[in-house]
Amino acid sequence: MLVALFVAGLTAATLLLDLSLVVAAVYGTLSLVTFLTYARDKASARAGRWRTSEQTLLTLGLLGGWPGAIAAQETLRHKTTKVSFRSRFWVTVVVNLAALGLLLSPLGPVVRDALRDVVGV
């Protein structure tokens, strides 16, 4: 449900608030990468192989892959019971959404220009 609301909001922000399509593409790409990383970690856990670190999973979520992480957690039933991970995960979601909110705020143009200078987009 949260992922669907986010996608709807991101679409609206792209269409109505002049949010760059690059932002939507980054969220989509990172969500796919994050989902696949969770799937690989789940398979590794079942097979007793090397696991993806929680820090990697959290970083992917923080950078914008959290919708894919939520989808993976729900569909794969992975990383859903460890309270310390879940708590840190939700902090990354809040931080990411706060950063997106900043991009959409009146300070957004200044932040976007600074990001363009750094990233070169």
Cα distance between the two ends of the chain: 31
In a domain, 7, yes or no: no
Residue 7 scores a pLDDT above 80:
yes
Residue 29 lies in a domain: yes
The reported pLDDT for the residue numbered 44 is: 95
Residue 13 lies in a domain: no
In angstroms, how far is CA 66 from the centroid of its own chain? Answer: 3
The residue-averaged pLDDT of 17-45 equals 94
For 57-95, what is each residue's pLDDT tens digit? 999 999 999 999 999 999 998 888 899 999 999 999 999
Share of the chain above pLDDT 70, in %: 99
Structural domains of the chain, count: 1
CB atoms within 10 A of CB 61: 26
- Is residue 3 domain-resident? no
Structural domain harbouring 113: 20-119
Fill in the DSSP letter of residue 53: -
What was the pLDDT predicted at 121? 62
